[in-house]
Structure 1
Amino acid sequence: MTGAATRAVLAGVLSTVLAAASVTADPAHLSASPAPRSAYVAVSVATVWTTPQSPRPVDRRALTNPVDIRGWLSDMTLDQQEALTGDNLNQTQALFGDRVLVVREQGDWDEVVVPGQPTPKDSQGYPGWIPKAQLTIDVSYGALKDHAPFAVADRGVTTWLYRDSALSHRDLEISTNTRLPVLTRTDKAVQVFAPDRGLEWLDAETVSVYEKPTDIPHPTGVDLVRYAATFVGIPYVWGGVSGFGIDCSGLTAAAYQVHGITLPRDAGPQAADRRGRPIDKSALQPGDLLFYSHGGKDPVNPDDMYHVAMYSGNGEMIEAFDKSAPVRITPVRLDEDYWGARRYL
């Protein structure tokens, strides 16, 4: 953006903020309105819990601001990681700057839906609870998010926000697929507006900048595989959607979403999505999704669909299988649980 364009965007933000001045930013105000109100994720990754009572003592690093996802994962034993799945403790995650809709509050928690993650559980987005400390009501950021060009982190599983255009002072590590509104750029850096942090900078080599979401180029299957392969070696975590830790459908959803295609969040709804065309196992191409079910081949039962992977070519697939291994490239399994493949391009 030129300097004049930056000033125009900021002027528009000021107008929006003034128009919203009658709306208090006090989180307690949220419960006074029957309509969901926007808030924004203010940590690198916010875990969306099933209830405010779901977190265990070992989950404390995932509840703070700043958050420590790597520390959280390293604190857990394999049995404690397994309990995330078996006890249905967490639902999904949301990335820094993502909008959530606050439905109601309970003490230090907000009940939310995540609009960017389609699910049959709620027509507005994926439901659950996030600690208030990890959310912000930042109307300046919200106005920019809706109207400014944006940068999407799409090279490498994580990148950094910097305090300066020389990229010498790191501020916050953020995940791939994070999107932030852009104000201006130099040859080596992109200036963005970050929730609760104001002006920050990103390394231009780690992001792509678009005027609007529809400007994202339509991917090829090879594009999807190349992106998914960057996660190889990243830890598995149930409900994960980030470069710090991810699950099977989080991986496939992220690979498509970073390329401008939003799939449902979970494996069963991904398989049932009408945009997906059935593909015979003899005709697989890179980028196709492979599904595994405990309940037979047809029809799709989301409760039976337990796994999804991406075909990468040469009889192999990329998958985040379970807690026993990080994201890996492995031979395609055409076993009794193989349900079928879908192509979305």
Structure 2
Amino acid sequence: MSETLDRRRHPVRPDLAALDYKGRVDAGAFAEGEVFQITADKVALRPAPDGSRSIDTEALRGEWVTVYETTDEGWAWGQLDTDGYVGWLPSECLGKVTPATHRVRALRTYRYPGPDLKFPPLGLMSIGSQVSVKGEVENRGLTYAILEDGSAVVARHLVPVDYVAEDWVQVATELVGTPYLWGGRSSLGLDCSALVQLAAQAGGHDLPRDSDMQEAEAGEEIDHLDPVSLRRGDLLFWKGHVGIIAGPNQLLHANGHTMTVAFEKLDKAIKRIAETEWGEITRARRLPVI
């Protein structure tokens, strides 16, 4: 017995599959999996254990991943808890699980070896990263959050894990100018669907990772597409692309045209994209803005 499953969302290979799939698919072996936490600021997930392969997506610090295999070459194959994405990543980026208390709300924030901005930073975390705060220390009028490993970040750059932004589209606008990066999922570089996912997450919406998944599942489908009647927060989809309606005749998207997150007049964008391989709009979906 076997079924065809999307490799991006199901930990199933011909030689190995998650134990939950036993009886559903044919695989050489089944593994229960072990949960780890991402300890790098960000790390690429790839379709194969090969650093020369293109990036499928990225995992951010503090996210959990269930690992089903590790190799002697230093790779791990697993599934992200955040959005269920499956892929290969370096096993050196994995550590023990510590439940998060906060997440990064600033576009990015430095992590220091202690509570002092003059210290050389240990790393740079993106919006959406998750941390466990153990206390706070004030130094020269600036409050630092002390993390589980003793490192420190500026406290006002964090929000509680259950915090919900009032306007998720505003979060997306803060990312204007961010470089476009295929498979990127951080404020240092991201693609069209990552812009939607990260901003919507800040507004309390848990969305799948890729644009085809979002087209099928995000919010509610708009039955009658009329660009004039679109609202702030509506999502427009093309083949392989998604953009956000930010206002009347205003599209916000991470795109390969400007190679950045940028605003574009909707009517001009529709005409321009129609002349490319992405073609006409395929669907529109409504994602509420508080």
Report the TM range for the smaller structure's normalisation: 0.7 to 0.9
- Deviations along 1:33-78, whole A, 9 cap, x unmatched? 931101121211100011013x22xxxxxxxxxxxxxxxxxxxxxx
> In the alignment, does 2:33 pair up with 1:41?
no
Query: Residues 231 and 266 (structure 1 numbering): CA distance in 2 closer, same or farther, change over 3 Å?
Result: same
Q: How many equivalent residue pairs?
A: 243
- Deviations along 1:230-261, whole A, 9 cap, x unmatched? 22111111111101110000110000112222
Aligned to 2:270: 334
> Normalising to structure 2: TM-score of the pair?
0.77
Percent identical residues: 25
- Rounded Cα–Cα distance in structure 2 between residues aligned with 1:340 and 1:242: 26
- Deviations along 1:109-136, whole A, 9 cap, x unmatched? 111111211xxxxxxx111100112222
Structure 2 runs not aligned, ≥5 long: 1-28, 275-279
- Rounded Cα–Cα distance in structure 1 between residues aligned with 2:251 and 2:218: 23
Aligned to 1:252: 196
Assess if the C-alpha contact under 8 Å between 1:167 and 1:189 holds in 2.
no
Choose between structure 1 and 2: higher helix proportion: 1
SS at match of 2:195: helix
> In the alignment, does 2:207 pair up with 1:269?
no
> In the alignment, does 2:56 pair up with 1:91?
yes
Which of 283, 289, 311 in structure 1 is aligned with 2:229?
283
Aligned to 1:300: none
Query: Residues 185 and 269 (structure 1 numbering): CA distance in 2 closer, same or farther, change over 3 Å?
Result: same
Aligned to 1:203: 154
Which of 244, 256, 262 in structure 2 is aligned with 1:310?
244
Moved over 4 A (4+): none
Offset at residue 95 of structure 1 (A): 0.4
> Normalising to structure 1: TM-score of the pair?
0.65
Offset at residue 163 of structure 1 (A): 2.3
- Rounded Cα–Cα distance in structure 1 between residues aligned with 2:126 and 2:270: 32
Q: What pairs with 1:82-231 in structure 2 (closer than 5 Å)?
A: 89-107=54-72, 108-117=74-83, 125-136=84-95, 138=96, 142=97, 144-145=98-99, 150-155=101-106, 157-169=107-119, 170-186=121-137, 188-193=143-148, 198-210=149-161, 213=162, 216-217=163-164, 219-220=165-166, 223-231=167-175
Offset at residue 165 of structure 1 (A): 2.6
